[in-house]
Amino acid sequence: MAGSDNEKKIDLTLNVWRQKNRTAAGRFETYPARNISTDMSFLEMLDVVNESLILEGKEPIAFDHDCREGICGQCGVVINGDAHGPRRATTTCQLHMRSFNHGDVLTIEPWRATAFPVIKDLMVDRSAFDRIIASGGFVSVRTGNAPEANDLPVPKDDAELAMDAAACIGCGACVAACPNASAMLFVAAKAGHLGTLPQGDPERYRRATGMTDQMDAEGFGSCTNHGECEAACPKEIRLEFIARLNRDYLMASVRKDREAAAAGAV
């Protein structure tokens, strides 16, 4: 395939985290990445390096990916200290090598968080997110067939807010960027997406406590308002969703106290 008019070839040095499995000690290894087209994506560059490693009889670098279109949330590594690399609102798979210069030295690491143990090299186990979703990130009412769209009017502002929250792809960059390894932005996006729509409203408060409590149980840290999550998020999920989640969590506690008081009064 012909490159773009602005295509250049660059050489880089990669310091890559290598770790055989969850329990093995990891270490950085240095590899050259030569003659890399600036039109390549970051993952294509890793593919090229892996081809060289295989030809040399060495183990290729393990990294996660699926769609390579910024949709699935599977990719994601820390590049020179930035989750998903230096470009804002860009997943690792959508990052292009034109963001780098000839001669650059790149340090490439997996997400660092106790709740995301390393599986191998740059791949981490993000199943903690699945368990958070299972603890409340769904709508349990039977909706049957798709209803007629106008039967359930949704205010435009609510629809837009829910769509903004639904953009979260569950990549985990927010956790990797947070000094506390908190998953609050992810939880807030999922809870905010469902809690803003009428279909998800009946379970809004149960969802807020269920997902937040599961987040704590998984070993993620607490949010102390650093804002690094918002800066790292490739889908630009806003901190205001965390504020909404905090309000819902507080409201859930008040409702629980009221219900307990009412039950005691009978």
Map the footprint of ligand FES across residues 150-209, applying CB under 6 A.
169
Q: Which is nearer to ligand SF4, 130 or 259 (CB)?
A: 130
Q: Is 186 in the site for ligand SF4 (CB under 6 A)?
A: yes
Tell the smallest beta-carbon distance from residue 186 to ligand FES (Å): 14
Q: Is 178 in the site for ligand SF4 (CB under 6 A)?
A: no
| Dist CA 105 CA 107 (whole Å) | 7
Q: Is 173 in the site for ligand SF4 (CB under 6 A)?
A: yes
* Residue keyed to tokens 């269920």: 210
| Dist CA 7 CA 36 (whole Å) | 10
Q: Is 75 in the site for ligand SF4 (CB under 6 A)?
A: no
Residue from 49, 162, 174, 215 in contact with ligand SF4 (CB under 6 A): 174
DSSP characters for 203-227? GHHHHHHHHHHHHHHTT-B---S--
Tell the smallest beta-carbon distance from residue 109 to ligand FES (Å): 17
Alpha helices in 85-150 (DSSP H): 127-134
Binding partner selected for residue 91 from ligand FES, ligand SF4, none, CB under the kind-specific 5 to 8 Å limit? ligand FES
Q: Which stretch binds ligand FES (CB under 6 A): 69-77, 139-147, 153-161, 221-229?
A: 69-77
* Contact between residue 15 and residue 108 where contact means Cβ atoms under 8 Å apart: yes
> Per the structure block, which two tokens stand in for 9?
């070839």
For strands 105-109 and 9-18, give the pairing.
parallel
Residue type at 103 in one-letter notation: G
**C-alpha 208: how far from chain center:** 19
Q: Is 211 in the site for ligand SF4 (CB under 6 A)?
A: no
| Dist CA 217 CA 206 (whole Å) | 16
Give Cα separations from 16 to 24, 25, 34, 79, 109 (angstroms). 16, 14, 15, 10, 6
Q: Which is nearer to ligand FES, 172 or 210 (CB)?
A: 172
Binding partner selected for residue 111 from ligand FES, ligand SF4, none, CB under the kind-specific 5 to 8 Å limit? none
| Dist CA 53 CA 27 (whole Å) | 17
Q: Is 237 in the site for ligand SF4 (CB under 6 A)?
A: yes
Tell the smallest beta-carbon distance from residue 234 to ligand FES (Å): 8
Map the footprint of ligand FES across residues 84-103, applying CB under 6 A.
91, 93
Q: Is 71 in the site for ligand FES (CB under 6 A)?
A: yes
Residue from 48, 53, 62, 67 in contact with ligand FES (CB under 6 A): 67
| Dist CA 222 CA 246 (whole Å) | 12
Tell the smallest beta-carbon distance from residue 91 to ligand FES (Å): 4
Residue from 37, 74, 212, 214 in contact with ligand FES (CB under 6 A): 74
**C-alpha 256: how far from chain center:** 31
CA angle 177, 183, 187 (to 5 degrees): 135
Residue from 61, 189, 215, 252 in contact with ligand SF4 (CB under 6 A): 189
Residues in contact with ligand SF4 by CB under 6 A are: 168-174, 185-186, 189, 232-235, 237
